[in-house]
Amino acid sequence: MRIFIEKDYDAMSRRMAQIIAAEITHNPACVLGLATGSTPEGAYKYLVDWHKQGCLSFQDVLSVNLDEYVGLAPTHDQSYRYFMQSNLFDHVDIVPENTRVPDGLTKDPAAFCAEYDAYIRSLGYVDLQLLGIGRNGHIGFNEPGDCFVKETHVVDLAESTIDANARFFATRDDVPKQAISMGIGAIMGAKKVLLAASGAEKADAILGSICGAITPHCPGSILQLHPNVAVVVDEVAGSKLKAAGVSVCG
């Protein structure tokens, strides 16, 4: 596991973007597992800028997203499809048909989840999986629980997750209570994983994921078993790693 502690959010975002861009440059037809939220937003801005400068092409890239809220249409401004279009897809040359985001309006969630997993397997899993992490250690929307759920599934969101996401909605009551999330099996099947976090409120989750017991009560801890993980955090998110004496990359 390689750990990078950057001085601030912008430096963290640039490091994330460099890792993603290097993957695309090395393998122009790579499969990217993508995430949403405030953590990757800065990295996506760097990728868009480099594309506009003619340094990076997404023409042959395939993408699969981690998750989507149940009940939100792709056009809803808080849906994750909308986020991806607004922050990345609409600004680069990725082929629309090559992008996949879970369908929050599916009438048959079980069938959809099985099809999503089958599609990911058909790609040979993803080449680089981008992950944020929740304050409670969730990755994707795999919430803390008694077991790791392998398959893509419908998740009942934890109260802490709803609280954390309420800032994006008019009221807390407007936050969806469920989401479709890629399961731990697909995440761990990725050839490489890029885990990122920013802010002091993520410090405990990062420490637990990297140094704590491997337990479904901190879903991010499963990444300790993955052979190729890069962790990129800003100084405050990584503060407890430094205090614990964890080795970091220069």
Q: Would you list the DSSP string of 153-177?
A: EEEEPPHHHHHHHGGGSSSGGGS-S
pLDDT at 250: 59
From 51, 65, 117, 138, active-site residue: 138
> The tokens of 146 are what?
């008694």
> The tokens of 97 are what?
């048909």
Averaged pLDDT of the chain: 96
C-alpha–C-alpha distance, residues 31 and 129, integer Å:
9
Q: How many Cβ atoms are within 10 Å of 224's Cβ, its own excluded?
A: 14
- Predicted structure pTM score: 0.95
The full set of domains in the chain, from first to last, is 52-210+226-231 (3.40.50.1360)
Chain-centre distance for alpha carbon 76 = 20
From 65, 136, 142, 165, active-site residue: 136
pLDDT at 165: 86
pLDDT at 242: 83
From 6, 68, 127, 143, active-site residue: 143
pLDDT at 82: 97
Question: Which of residues 247 and 108 earns the better pLDDT score?
Answer: 108
pLDDT in tens, 212-236: 999 999 999 999 999 999 999 999 9
- Is residue 204 part of the annotated active site? The answer reads no
pLDDT at 68: 96
- Is residue 138 part of the annotated active site? The answer reads yes
Question: Which of residues 106 and 174 earns the better pLDDT score?
Answer: 106
Q: Please name which of 68, 64, 132 lies closest in space to residue 98, comparing C-alpha atoms.
A: 64
From 6, 23, 51, 67, active-site residue: 67
- Is residue 67 part of the annotated active site? The answer reads yes
pLDDT in tens, 147-203: 999 999 999 988 988 998 888 898 998 889 999 999 999 999 999 999 999 999 999
C-alpha–C-alpha distance, residues 45 and 17, integer Å:
9
- Is residue 136 part of the annotated active site? The answer reads yes
Q: How many Cβ atoms are within 10 Å of 99's Cβ, its own excluded?
A: 20
Burial 174-192 (b: 16+ CB within 10 A, else e): ebbeebbbbbbbbbbbbbb
Coil, helix or strand at residue 200: helix
